[in-house]
Amino acid sequence: MDAEKVARAYSSPNWWYDLRGFLILHFSYRDGLIPLLNFFSRNGSARHLEIAVGSGSFLRLVLAMRKLKRQSPMQGAAIDYAPTMLSGALRRLTSERGWKVERADAAHLPFANESFETINCANSLHSIPDDRGAMAEAFRVLRPGGTFALNVVLTPRGGKISRWIADKIAEWGIRKGILTRTYAEKEIQALVASPGFEIIQARIRGNNYCLVARKPTAQR
């Protein structure tokens, strides 16, 4: 599946996308919104890139959480490939200072090498057809020593009923085109490591695998 097909799959109205996302988080990822906001709000800077920002609702909540915790301002660029998603992100981020929202393919980023200090890719890598290309691009545009936080949905695990529900949601997502694939733990570790990232933090809750990777300061 290519990026154009994904953009078409993500053409639902923003209100339905947000509600659907909340249900997917609980029944497919089997994780909670607050732990996920906590995870992503820890990785922010004044030179931040948000990959696959979607409707912008999740990033707005991350920004709100950072303000609540009196963390330093998070500003930068946010990209997505689906025009319907981008229009929501533009609307939601206009009131936030220091944000630029633009259409771009995560596997072909329109930024110079080492432009960013932090990068987040929330709930999205499993929706990006060229996940390896996206990983290589994140590595390229991150400065050495910079950190990249991401999460992916694992191939469903756990109890019989919850696994059955998560399996059905994944099958539906793949049919609809909003999900490209699910991952085994080792597959995502290998993918993150492929351009040269080192994994410095990892945690699994339900079927949700959250990782923080760092770009080494000296290339080995």
Ligand X SMILES: C[S@@+](CC[C@H](N)C(=O)[O-])C[C@H]1O[C@@H](n2cnc3c(N)ncnc32)[C@H](O)[C@@H]1O
CB of 54 or CB of 206, closer to ligand X: 54
* Residue placing its CB nearer to ligand X in the complex, 13 or 145: 13
* # residues near ligand X by CB under 6 A: 22
Spell out, one character per residue from 60 to 89, where the chain touches ligand X: x when CB under 6 A holds, - when not: -------------------xxxx--x----
Nearer to ligand X, 122 or 192 (CB): 122
Contact between 6 and ligand X (CB under 6 A)? yes
CA 87 – CA 92 distance, rounded (Å): 9
User: Is residue 209 involved in binding ligand X (CB under 6 A)?
Assistant: no
* 148 binds ligand X, rule: CB under 6 A: no
Q: What is the DSSP string of 95-107?
A: TSTTEEEEE-BTT
Query: At 55, which helix (H) or strand (E)?
Result: none
Report yes or no: 112 and 164 within 8 Å, Cβ to Cβ. Answer: no
Distance CA 32, CA 20 (A): 14
CB of 216 to ligand X, least distance (A): 25
Give me 14's structure tokens.
């923003």
Counting beta carbons within 10 angstroms of the beta carbon of residue 111, is it exposed (0 to 12), middle (13 to 18) or buried (19 or more)? middle
Q: Does 123 sit near ligand X (CB under 6 A)?
A: yes
Residue 45 or 120: the one with the smaller Cβ distance to ligand X is 120
Pairing of the two strands 48-51 and 208-214: unpaired
Which residues, 6+ apart, have CB-to-CB distance to 204 below 8 Å? Answer: 154, 185, 210
Residues 43-62 binding ligand X (CB under 6 A) are 52-54, 58
Applying CB under 6 A, does 106 fall inside the site for ligand X?
yes
Q: Residue 171: helix, strand or coil by DSSP?
A: helix
CB of 35 to ligand X, least distance (A): 14
- In this complex, which beta carbon is closest to ligand X, that of residue 67 or of residue 103? 103
Q: Which residues bind ligand X (CB under 6 A)?
A: 3, 6-7, 10, 21, 52-54, 58, 79-82, 85, 105-107, 122-124, 127-128
